[in-house]
Amino acid sequence: MSLSEELAATLSPESLVVAAGRPPRTRDEPVNPPLVLSSTYFGTGPLGDGDRGYGRYSNPTWDPFEEALGQLEGADLPGLLYASGLAAVSSALSLVPAQGVLVMPSHSYAGSVTMATELAAKGFLELRTVDIADTDAVLAALAPAGGRAASMLWLESPTNPMLGIADMRALTAAAHEAGAIVVTDNTFSTPLVQQPLSLGSDVVLHSVTKYLSGHSDVVLGALVTSDAGLRAALLHHRTIHGGIAGPFEAWLALRGLRTLALRIERSQASAQILAERLAGHPRVAAIRFPGLSSDPGHERAKAQMKGFGSILCIEVAPGRGHGGSLSGAAAADRMIRALHLWLPATSLGGVESLIERRRRHTAEPESVPDNLVRMSVGIENVEDLWADLEQALGTLDG
């Protein structure tokens, strides 16, 4: 690749997303990396470390994205691409030793909690779920109980979908003191908003499906670490368990990454405006967004994030409805069905604004209010987004 580690270290993230992962500057060679469709590579004799070998071991189309993501997270090593965010979660959880203790936010991404719960049910590990915003509770969970201290602290901040904010520096320091490694799911923030390695995390996880690729057209995951031993273990797990990325998805993800800085800048600014307006709307019973000074996570978010992300959650107030009374959940569903510009769909981090009542997922715990609506703010005109929300909330007064 043409971008040296030395130059990468001097560039701002806005430049890195454009410049990283390019081929060498050789006359008449393409400026973009090629899409390589091959399941195997020529070779004879013993397979060594530098060999590509076989399509499950490596693919040249993965390399530029892995290099770019490593540089964006401030890592000393390239990242690792996976077939999905959950394939990356599976690989990361493989770092917990047999019967080790995993401390995880109770409001982590539901798939991550489900995977950990199932591993615990089989006796492979012990799971301690905690309110990650409650530092004392996390410290207690890290400490030996029944003789066993934690082996891994899982961090997600802001959490999905409650947008709780963890005190990342305090928790990573405490985890290391207890002998645990720290994995941070940074999907909601991206390295442009939060850099978990610099906050003490050992491994960073992404659902590349979301902001990094940014167009709701691929499913991919990634892990990043500066620890060569951990990276080797993760790479081995990926190769042997087979959760590898398709080359076309990897190519699309790098193409999407090129505009990440612009997309984040726009969607964060719009989320702030929408949150402030929604906070004063009579049909909004509660709002969660760390960018609001009234939000319990505001000060912490300010201390460890660059901006506040572009996910916000509202609780829709019960309504009179059309001729009857509507529960908060029914009002939320009615409001979502009345939208024309916002897309009623799960997922987040795309150019299009997405909206969803989270409890439509049966895996979402009951501690998530049933009228809670998660909004992923896209890059449309903010006044158009607001007008659509206003008219949809207005239908609840009928």
Ligand X SMILES: *Cc1c(COP(=O)(O)O)cnc(C)c1O
Query: What is the phi-psi region of residue 61: left when phi exceeds 0, alpha when psi lies from -120 to 50, beta otherwise?
Result: alpha
User: Does residue 78 contact residue 226 with C-beta atoms inside 8 Å?
Assistant: no
**Does residue 41 have an active-site annotation?**
no
Q: Which is nearer to ligand X, 212 or 316 (CB)?
A: 212
CB of 44 to ligand X, least distance (A): 38
Residue nearest to ligand X (CB): 85
**Does residue 370 have an active-site annotation?**
no
Of 66, 130, 123, which is closest to residue 96 (Cα–Cα)?
A: 123
Of 310, 192, 336, 247, which is closest to residue 66 (Cα–Cα)?
A: 247
Residue 234 touching ligand X (CB under 6 A): no
End-to-end CA distance of the chain: 60
Of 264, 263, 247, which is closest to residue 64 (Cα–Cα)?
A: 247
Of 240, 210, 241, 238, which is closest to residue 223 (Cα–Cα)?
A: 238
- Per CB under 6 A, the list member of 209, 272, 353, 376 interacting with ligand X is 209
Residue 219 touching ligand X (CB under 6 A): yes
Site for ligand X in 256-275 (CB under 6 A): none
- Per CB under 6 A, the list member of 59, 71, 160, 216 interacting with ligand X is 160
Residue 86 touching ligand X (CB under 6 A): yes
- Per CB under 6 A, the list member of 59, 61, 84, 184 interacting with ligand X is 84
How many helical (H) and strand (E) elements, i.e. helices and strands, does the chain have?
Answer: 14, 12
Residue 102 touching ligand X (CB under 6 A): no
Q: Which of 22, 63, 82, 109 is catalytic?
A: 109
Residue 85 touching ligand X (CB under 6 A): yes
CB of 157 to ligand X, least distance (A): 10
CB of 348 to ligand X, least distance (A): 6
Q: Which is nearer to ligand X, 346 or 381 (CB)?
A: 346
Beta strands in the chain (DSSP E): 80-82, 100-105, 125-130, 152-156, 181-185, 203-207, 221-225, 284-288, 311-316, 343-344, 354-357, 372-376
User: Does residue 347 contact residue 376 with C-beta atoms inside 8 Å?
Assistant: yes
Q: Which is nearer to ligand X, 159 or 283 (CB)?
A: 159
Residue 187 touching ligand X (CB under 6 A): yes
Of 102, 369, 152, 166, which is closest to residue 186 (Cα–Cα)?
A: 166
* 289 sits in which H/E element: none
CA distance 263 to 253: 14
Kindly report the backbone phi and psi dihedral angles of residue 68, in degrees, each rounded to the nearest multiple of 5, phi listed first: -60, -45
* Region of 29-37, 54-62, 202-210, 264-272 interacting with ligand X (CB under 6 A): 202-210
CB of 324 to ligand X, least distance (A): 35
Q: Which is nearer to ligand X, 84 or 178 (CB)?
A: 84
Beta strands 354-357; 80-82: pairing state = unpaired
- Scanning the structure block, which residue is given the tokens 């769909």? 345
Q: Which is nearer to ligand X, 61 or 160 (CB)?
A: 160
Q: Which is nearer to ligand X, 172 or 213 (CB)?
A: 213
Amino acid at 163: L
- Per CB under 6 A, the list member of 66, 126, 167, 185 interacting with ligand X is 185
* Region of 162-170, 205-213, 297-305, 387-395 interacting with ligand X (CB under 6 A): 205-213
* 297, two tokens: 């996570």
Beta strands 203-207; 181-185: pairing state = parallel
* 358, two tokens: 């989270």
Q: Which is nearer to ligand X, 71 or 207 (CB)?
A: 207
CB of 374 to ligand X, least distance (A): 10
By CB under 6 A, the count of residues binding ligand X is 15
**Does residue 185 have an active-site annotation?**
yes
**Does residue 109 have an active-site annotation?**
yes
CB of 160 to ligand X, least distance (A): 5
Tell me the catalytic residues: 56, 109, 185, 210
Residues in contact with ligand X by the rule CB under 6 A:
84-86, 109, 111-112, 160, 185, 187-188, 207, 209-210, 219, 221
